[in-house]
Each structure stands twice: as C-alpha cells, then as structure tokens.
C-alpha cells in the first residue's frame, strides 16, 4: 500500500518503516504520546508526507482524519479475520512476542503498548485478535463518512484507489511487497546473523 500510494500521489507515505528511515529517536516518543492519549503534533510527525498507512498511524485514524478532513480513509482488509490472523501471526506477532531483543527497545515498548491498546491484554490470543480485527473494520465503516471511505482489498488492485483519488491507473502491476515469505526470509537471516555473533 505504501508503494502504491507513493506512485499515485508522487510523495512520501508514512509507514512503520518510516520510523527507522527518519530520526526514530525523535519519532518514537511522539507515537508513545499518541498511545498514552497525549496531544500529538500530526503536522510535525507527517512532515513531507502525502499519506500514512500501517501501524502506528492506522490505530489513530480518527484523530488523523479529523486533522486532515480532505483526506480519504482507505480501509485495507483481507477476505476474513482468519486470513488476516494467519498473516499477522506469521509476521508481526512474532516480533511483538520477541522479548529477547537488545535493540530498538523504545520502539518495542511503544508497539507492545499499542498492541495492548488496540487488542487488549489478550493480544496474543487468536480469537481475541480476530474479534478485534472485525470490530475495528466495522467501526471504521460505521464512523467514517461514506464519501471519504475507500473499502479496499489488495486483489482489487489500482482501480478503486485511482477512482477515489481521481488519478489515472499506472501502466505497471500493483506492487506486492513485504510479503509473508519476505518476512520469513528476513527473520531467518536475522536469526542466522545472531547465531554467528
């Protein structure tokens, strides 16, 4: 989604990885403020960006969309909660469970706190996570004005996004990045690197 929006909008799209491409020591405390319900300067956080996707931004979509009332809200979903959970449990959740880490500890604390904020104390439980996923999606659909909401699945590709944004469909395949397979390869490489040290 990040790559797609950067192609369509011609600007930077904020994503979890943006934290580490920028000054994460400055940005992580700002996100921690959001998690802790403290005021956040969204303009400062999103400096140079034309869009935001992924955690942590998506967890604060009501505040962000209120700050940018002309922006669309793209609700990117899977076919069902079980499909989402299989992906999350193979990619993001192992990172959240990894309490043996020795680096990026402030980031880890912020993301774990965000998981608890969104999913509750039972964030590791599959049924709890899937129920929360369905409730979150239903909440976005109920709260977001219909003229701002783009309810979208990746298999729909460029069409709905381009129509909603009023831009032409690019003459290239829709990007497919950050896949479960790529996560597994990166995790295996990281584990191998640690074993060597």
State pLDDT tens for residues 46-64. Answer: 999 999 999 999 999 999 9
Location of structure tokens 């239903």: 138
Taking CA atoms, 36 is separated from 31, 40, 129, in Å, by 9, 10, 21
pLDDT score at 188: 52
The phi, psi pair for 99, rounded to 5°, reads: -90, 5
Give the Cα separation of 132 and 116 in Å (integer). 11
In the three-class reduction of DSSP (H, G, I as helix; E, B as strand; rest coil), residue 80 is classed as: coil
Taking CA atoms, 53 is separated from 2, 117, 128, 158, 195, in Å, by 7, 18, 23, 16, 34
182 vs 142, residue with greater confidence: 142
**What one-character DSSP code corresponds to residue 76?**
E
User: How far is C-alpha 126 from the chain's CA centre?
Assistant: 19
Helix/strand/coil (H/E/C) assignment for every residue in 124-190: CCHHHHHHHHHHHHHHHHHHCCCCCEEEEEHHHCHHHHHHHHCCCCCCCCCCCCCCHHHHHHHHHHH
Domain total in the chain: 1
pLDDT band at 10 (very low <50, low <70, confident <90, very high): very high
pLDDT score at 19: 85
pLDDT score at 180: 59
76 in Cβ contact with 155 (< 8 Å): no
Torsion of CA 142, 148, 154, 159, to 10 degrees: 140
Give the Cα separation of 39 and 35 in Å (integer). 10
CATH code assigned at 108: 3.40.50.300
State pLDDT tens for residues 85-118. Answer: 999 999 989 989 998 888 889 999 999 999 999 9
pLDDT score at 80: 97
In the three-class reduction of DSSP (H, G, I as helix; E, B as strand; rest coil), residue 12 is classed as: strand
Domain containing 11: what range?
A: 2-196
């Amino acid at each position: 989604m990040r790559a797609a929006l950067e192609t369509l909008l011609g600007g930077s799209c904020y994503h979890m990885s943006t934290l580490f491409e920028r000054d994460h020591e400055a940005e992580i405390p700002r996100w921690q403020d959001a998690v802790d319900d403290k005021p956040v300067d969204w303009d400062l956080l999103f400096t140079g960006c034309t869009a935001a996707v992924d955690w942590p931004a998506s967890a604060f979509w009501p505040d962000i969309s209120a700050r940018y009332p002309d922006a669309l809200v793209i609700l990117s979903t899977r076919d069902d909660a079980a499909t989402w959970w299989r992906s999350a449990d193979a990619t993001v959740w192992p990172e959240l469970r990894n309490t043996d880490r020795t680096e990026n500890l402030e980031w880890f604390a912020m993301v774990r706190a965000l998981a608890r904020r969104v999913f509750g104390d039972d964030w590791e439980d599959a049924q709890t996570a899937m129920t929360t996923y369905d409730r979150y999606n239903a909440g976005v659909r109920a709260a977001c004005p219909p003229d701002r909401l783009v309810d979208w699945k990746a298999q729909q590709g460029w069409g709905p996004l381009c129509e909603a944004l009023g831009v032409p469909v690019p003459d290239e395949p829709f990007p497919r990045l950050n896949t479960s397979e790529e996560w597994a390869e990166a995790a295996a490489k990281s584990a191998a690197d640690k074993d060597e040290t």
